[in-house]
Amino acid sequence: MTLSTSLLTGDHHVHSTFSDDAVSTPAENLAAAQAVGLREIRMVDHVRVSTTYVPEFLAAVRALPTVDGLTVLTGVEAKILDASGTVDAPPEVLAALGTPGGPDRVLLADHQVPGPDGPWSPRATRERIEAGLDPADVVEMLVTATVRAMHAVGRAQLAHPFSVLPKIGLTEQDVTDQLLDALADAAVATGTPVEVNEKWHCPGPRVTDRLRAAGVLLVASTDAHQAADVGVYDWVRG
């Protein structure tokens, strides 16, 4: 991978106790970011359409002490629900993106496959493929939904793109250059950064090289769920 070292001074996807599967507070994550010398950290927690804690989360992040040389950004992580690009986030949070009362960005996640009728679990998707659904159609649906979600949200970031593929028996090699170019065009048109994600080991060099060549902003992320992992890169660095 040819990420410049300066990218590794940012961590654009860090979870806190506002996510039910993470253990560190925003203050602990901030201290960890300072300790490893990060210059940028994006604090992010999981939401669904029914989530109500976002104002409290944003207040907690904005109440953190200022650290010289460290920019603190915010976001919420939401899955892409269906092929039309609907996002599983509260409408008022989406409406407030980029304003003083809202998070900076929505991290679009492929936790499930966005099907025409709603999210497909990896298992349900594998069963459809075994029953004859063309994997190429699944990949196209995933990329199309992601492109639509980027345009619909306006201020997105792609979290661990293509992390769902191994779960459904596919790899990034199943994504055509044409689909990668469609993804890149949408990311450039909407100013959407794309993560290179330490936790999920994706996307790989072929995808990142092609996106970068198209002018997409790549950002490094750990997807840390504990402060000890903030800003610590092994796979991304390698």
Among residues 197 and 208, whose Cβ is nearest to Zn ion?
A: 197
Among residues 198 and 223, whose Cβ is nearest to Zn ion?
A: 223
Is residue 148 classed as helix, strand or coil in its secondary structure?
A: helix
Stretch that binds Zn ion, among 93-101, 103-111, 164-172, 204-212 (CB under 5 A): 103-111
Binding map of Zn ion across residues 104-143, x = CB under 5 A, - = no contact: -----x----------------------------------
Return the H-helix or E-strand segment holding 118.
Answer: strand 118-120
Please report, in angstroms and rounded to a whole number, the separation of the first and last CA atoms in the chain.
Answer: 7
Among residues 77 and 82, whose Cβ is nearest to Zn ion?
A: 77
Min. distance of Cβ 134 from Zn ion in angstroms? 26
Which class for 67: exposed (0-12), middle (13-18), buried (19 or more C-beta within 10 A)? middle
Min. distance of Cβ 77 from Zn ion in angstroms? 5
Min. distance of Cβ 204 from Zn ion in angstroms? 17
Bridge-based pairing state of the strands 105-109 and 113-115: unpaired
Min. distance of Cβ 224 from Zn ion in angstroms? 9
Min. distance of Cβ 48 from Zn ion in angstroms? 13
Min. distance of Cβ 123 from Zn ion in angstroms? 18
Q: What's 238's DSSP letter? A: -
Closest by alpha carbon to 194, among 171, 176, 178, 210? 210
Binding map of Zn ion across residues 209-238, x = CB under 5 A, - = no contact: --------------x---------------
User: 69-98: which residues touch Zn ion (CB under 5 A)?
Assistant: 77
Q: Residue 164 interacts with Zn ion (CB under 5 A)?
A: no
Ranges of H-type helices in the chain:
26-35, 54-62, 91-95, 122-130, 135-153, 164-167, 177-190, 205-213
Return the H-helix or E-strand segment holding 107.
Answer: strand 105-109
- Unique residue bearing structure tokens 């025409």: 116
What is the total count of residues that contact Zn ion (CB under 5 A)? Answer: 3
Backbone φ and ψ for 93, nearest 5 degrees, come out as -70, -45
Among residues 25 and 185, whose Cβ is nearest to Zn ion?
A: 25
Among residues 109 and 227, whose Cβ is nearest to Zn ion?
A: 109
Structure tokens at 158: 């792609």
Residues that bind Zn ion (CB under 5 A): 77, 109, 223
